[in-house]
Structure 1
Amino acid sequence: MIDLRLVRENPDLVRASQRARGADESAVDALLAADAARREAARRGDDLRGEQKAASQAVKKATPEERPAVLERAKALAAEVKQAEEAQREADAALREVQLRIPNVVHDDVPPGGEDDAVTLRTVGEVPTYDFPVRDHIEIGEALGAIDMERGAKVSGSRFYFLTGPGALLEFALAQLAISRAVAAGFTPVIAPALVKPSAMEGTGFLGEHDEEVYRIERDDLYLVGTSEVALAGMHANEVLDLSKGPKRYAGWSSCFRREAGSYGKDTRGIIRVHWFDKVEMFSFCAPEDAAAEHLRLLQWEEEFLQALELPYRVVDIAAGDLGTSAARKYDIEAWFPTQGTYRELTSTSDCTTFQARRLTIRYRDADGKNQTAATLNGTLCAIARTIACLLEVHQRADGSVHVPVALRPWLGGVEALTPGMTLVAPVPTA
C-alpha cells in the first residue's frame, strides 16, 4: 500500500510514477480527495464527541428547570455522534479502496516503457553451439523417460505434466541444491502453505488487476498461491520484527498455481509455461534503507545458482510499465533456450519497499525503539519446471544424453550424464 504521507507531501512524484507505469494519474487526485474526506470525517467525529462530553457534564450541573432541555441536547448529540462514526467508517473504507488501487512508486532508475523496453545489464556465459540438430526439452525429456505431457493432459488438462524417473529426480536435486545454498547464505528454510486467505493475497498485491491469474477455492474462500512469496509475507502480518541483526530471510518451497489466463497460444508445448510447478523462493524483511543493497544480494544469489547449473544467462532491468503492482524495481534473469534461439525468464527478484508490509502491518523497531514499517523483497532461486526445461536443452548431447552440472551430481547419485534407458541411482547426500 502506498504511503499516504508521501502522496500528501509529494503528489507529483506519485503522478510521475503512474505515468511511467502507464497507469491512471487521476487516481492520485482521487486518493488525495478521499484522504481529505476521511480527515474531515474524523475531525467532525472528534468535535461532536467533545460536545457530547461537555453535554454530559452539563446534565450533572443543570437545575431542575434546565435539565429537560439539556437532556434533549445530549440525546441529539448522541445520535449525531453515532452518525459521524458511521460516516468515518465509510470514509475509512473509501480511502482504503482508492489507496489499494495505486501501485508502488517506481524507483528513479527504472527504465521507462513497457514489456519490450527492459534494459540488459550484463550477459554471462557463452551461448552453446551444437554440431547436431538440437531437440527441445520435450523431445529430450520423453526420450529419457523424464517428462510425460500426454498423461498429464489426460489427468488434469492442458499445461499439466508428469515428471517421471530422471525428471522426478531432477526436481528433487534442484530443490535440494537450491535449499542447501540458501541455508548456507543464512536463509531459514520454510515449507510454505499453497492455500492462503484473501488477506494474504490482497496484502501482497496479487488481487485486483492480477486476480484473473489466480485460482480461487470459492467454497472455502481460499486462494492457491502463484508463489510462496504470498505465504512468506503473510507469515509475519500484524507483527513487530526484530531486525537489529540485519534482514530476516526465508527460503520457501511450495507448489505454485497460475491460470495463465492471458497467455492463450503462448508456449503451448512443454513445461515452460504451465498451470502448476514447484519453486524455491527467497524472501527478505529489512529496514527500508537496507532494501536496495538487499535487492542486489538476492540478485547475486540467483546468478550464482545459475552459474552452478552452468547455464548462460543475461540480467535485465524491467521497465516501469512491466512491473507488478507491489514492485518498485525488478530484475529478471533470462537463460538461453537453444531451440528458441533466445533468452527466456528463469528467475526474477523484486524490491517491494514498504508497500506490502504497510498493507500487512509488518513493522520493526528502529534504533530509537519506535515502530516503523518494514521493507519486503522477494527473489526466485529456482522455478523448477522451467529450469529443468532449460537444463535439458542447454546440456543436450548428440547421442541423446544430457550433461549433469557438477553442482547437481551429489543429488543425483554422482551421475555425470542422464541417458535414455539408464538405471536410476539413488541420490547420495553430501558429507
Structure 2
Amino acid sequence: MLRTDPDRIRRSQLARGESVELVDKLISVDESRRQAIAAYESARAEQKDLGKLIPKAQGEEKTTLLARTKELSELVKTNESAAKQLEVEFGELMLGVGNLVFDDVPEGGEDDYVVRETIGTPRDFEAEGITVRDHLDLGEALGAIDVPRGAKVSGSRFYYLTGVGAELELALINLAMQTAIANGFTPIIPPALVKPSAMEGTGFLGQAADDVYRLEADDLYLVGTAEVPLAAYHSEEILDAAALPMRYAGYSPSYRREAGSYGKDTRGIFRVHWFDKVEMFSYCDPEDSQAEHQRLLGFEKDFISKLELPFQVLELAAGDLGLSAARKYDCYAWIPSQQRYREITSTSNCTEFQARRLNIRARFANGTAPVATLNGTLCAITRTIIALLENHQQADGSIHVPVALRPFLAGRDRLVPRPTAGAQGQQR
C-alpha cells in the first residue's frame, strides 16, 4: 500500500494527528532499499557469470576478468551492507506508523468523541434524600478499600482490597468469566510478563511506551492489559481459517505507570498503577472484523447492564486512538460523586495490524494471509467497583448487590458497613 496508495496512509496519519512526512520518508527509504537490493543482485549475478569464464580465460583477458571480479566483490559487499542498513531503517520508521483508521471514524482528538448510545438513567439521589458519598468513603466504611496501607507498602496509586472488597473482586471475576464462557470464549490465565517482541507486536512500545513498566535486568515487560499475551499467543503461527473466529477471555493483573497523570484522579482507586482485569480477545477473518467488533461491544454492554449501571457508549475520534486501533468504542459508567460518566471498558478493532507484526496468518480459500485481531475489556475491576459502590449506595450506608452478582456473594443482596473498629484496625 505504501507503494500503490500512499495517500491512504497519509490520510490516516493526518486523522491521527501524526506525521505525514513520515510516509514520504518511508517511500524514499523503501526506494533506496530496493535500488540497493537490485544493485547487489546485479553485481552478484555478474560475479557468478565471471566465475564461470575465468577458468577458461588466459593472459590479458584473465587479468581483466580477475580485476572486474575484485570490483564486483566490493560492490556486492557495499550494496548488501546498504540494503541491510536500509532494511533496519525502514523497519524502525514503519513501527511509527499507526494502523489505518477507518475513513468514517470521527475526526479530532481526545475531546471529540461521539456518544453513540446512552443506556439507563442515573438515580436522583437528592429526591431519595441521600447525600452522595464517593467510592472511597463507602469502601472504607465497608472495610473494603485500604488506600493508606497501599501507599505505605507500595507508594502512591496502590491500594488493598480487603474483606468484602476482595470478595467483590472475586465475584466480578467469576461473573465476567462465566459470561465470557457462555458467549463462546475460551478462558485463559496468561503470563503478566512478556518479551519485547510481544509488546512491540501489539503496538505498546510506540506512543504508549512511557506508560509501560520494564524489568531491565530480564528484558521483560509487565503487561498493561491481557491483550498483549493474548495477541502474542498465536504469534508465528498459521491458523485454520475454518476455526475462526477464535475467542479468548484472559484474566490478569494490569500494570500502568500512569505517566503524565500527575494530579489526576488522585483520590481512591480510579487511576492506579495496578488492577485486575478480564479481557476479551478475538482472531477472525478480516472481512468479519467490523461485525466482530460490534459483537464484542455487545458483550460489554450486556455485562454492564447485568451490573445495573447507567452508562454511555462512546466512539473515539481518530486522534485519540492507540497505535494499533482502526476504531475504538469506550463504555463510560455514571459516577454519582463526580456527576459525570467515566470510562470503565473499551473495545478496539485492530484489523490486520497486530497480526502482521506478530506474523499470525490463516489459510483462507484464496491463500495464506494475516488475520484480524480485536480486543475488549469485559471487566476492569477497580473502576467497576467504583461504579457499583457509588450507584448502588443506600441511605443507611449499605450497598445494593445487583441480582447477577448475588450467586457469587453467598446470596447477599446488601453489603453492610462494618463497625468503626472493624477489620481494618488502627494504624500507628
TM-score range, shorter chain: over 0.9
Q: Is structure 2 residue 342 aligned with structure 1 residue 331?
A: no
- TM-score, normalising length from structure 2? 0.95
After TM superposition, the structure 1 stretch with the greater mean CA deviation from structure 2, 168-177 or 242-251, is 242-251
Distance in 1, Cα, partners of 2:233 & 2:84: 28
Match of 1:15 among 10, 13, 17: 10
Q: Mean Cα displacement is larger for which, 193-202 or 62-71?
A: 62-71
Residue of structure 1 equivalent to 2:395: 398
Which amino acid is 2:250 matched to? G
Which whole-Å deviations, capped at 9, do the CAs of 1:29-80 have from their partners, x for residues lacking one? 1111111111111111111121111112112333466444433433432332
Q: Distance in 1 between matches of 2:118 and 2:280?
A: 23
Give the 3-state SS of the residue equivalent to 1:126 in structure 2. coil
Q: State the Cα distance separating 1:225 from its structure 2 match.
A: 0.8
For residue 382 of structure 1, give the secondary structure of its aligned residue in structure 2.
strand
Letter of the structure 1 residue corresponding to residue 355 of structure 2: A
How far is the alpha carbon of 1:121 from its aligned partner?
0.5
Report if aligned partners of 1:34, 1:98 keep a CA contact under 8 Å in 2: no
Q: Distance in 2 between matches of 1:366 and 1:74?
A: 47
Q: Which shifted more, 229-238 or 56-65?
A: 56-65
Most deviating of 333-342 and 79-88? 79-88
Q: Deviation of residue 202 (structure 1)?
A: 1.0
- Counterpart Cα distance in 2 of 1:66 and 1:32: 43
Q: Secondary structure at the match of 1:268?
A: coil
Whether the 8 Å CA contact 1:123–1:314 is kept in 2: the answer is yes
Aligned match of 2:92: 97
* Distance (Å, rounded) in 2 between the aligned partners of 1:239 and 1:407: 38
Q: What is the Cα-based RMSD across aligned positions, in Å?
A: 1.3
Letter in 2 for 1:159: R
Q: Please say if 1:417 is aligned against 2:406.
A: no
The separation in 2 between residues aligned to 1:87 and 1:326, in whole angstroms, is 30
> Are residue 40 (structure 1) and residue 29 (structure 2) matched?
no
Residue 359 of structure 1: aligned partner: 357
- What is the TM-score with the length of structure 1 in the denominator? 0.94
Q: Could you say what secondary structure the match of 1:116 adopts?
A: coil
Q: Which one is further off, 37-46 or 293-302? A: 37-46
Gaps of 5+ in 1: 1-5, 423-431
Distance 1:271 1:263 in 2: 14
In structure 1, give the amino acid aligned to 2:47: Q
**In structure 1, what is the Cα distance between the partners aligned to 2:336 and 2:172?**
21
Matched ranges for 1:133-282 at <5 A: 133-282=131-280
The one of 284, 291, 294 equivalent to 1:293 is 291
Alpha-carbon separation, structure 2, partners of 1:177 and 1:29: 50
**Aligned match for 2:71, one of 42, 57, 76:** 76
Query: For structure 1, which segment, 264-273 or 51-60, has the greater mean C-alpha deviation from structure 2 after superposition?
Result: 51-60
Unpaired runs of 5+ in structure 2?
Answer: 420-428
Write the deviation string for residues 223-277 of structure 1: whole angstroms up to 9, x where unpaired.
1111111111111111111121321111111100001111111100011110000
Within the alignment, does 1:118 sit opposite 2:113 as a pair? yes
Q: What displacement does 1:361 show?
A: 1.1
User: Which amino acid in 2 is paired with 1:402?
Assistant: I
User: What SS does structure 2 have at the residue aligned with 1:346?
Assistant: strand
The partner residue of 1:379 within 355, 376, 379 is 376
Q: Which amino acid aligns with 1:415?
A: R
Residue of structure 2 equivalent to 1:320: 318
Partner of 1:24: 19
Quick one: which amino acid aligns to residue 410 of structure 2? Answer: G
Question: What is aligned with 2:423?
Answer: none
Q: Is the 8 A contact 2:206 2:323 kept in 1?
A: no
